[in-house]
Amino acid sequence: MSEAKCLDVRGLLCPVPVIRTQQVVRLMAVGERMWIVATDPGVMHDVPAWCRVHGHKVVEQVVERPDYRVLIEVGRRNN
């Protein structure tokens, strides 16, 4: 498996991190992974909720204040 991409959305507030995540995921292949790195703690809930709706998988969540990181894997319903 290739190395995970990284989307830096630090300094941005909801809903922008999820919107940017969706924009990048549209360009990714099934099975690819991406870290979303944010300073808005809302991503810890918003990104997993978005993943459930769109068929992607949350692989890992890490809190290293001030950063919140979510590793996702692109699923079949890549929209």
Q: Which residues are catalytic?
A: 14
Tokens 């890490």 sit at which residue?
62
Max Cα-Cα span within the chain: 32
Q: How many CB atoms lie within 10 A of CB 15?
A: 13
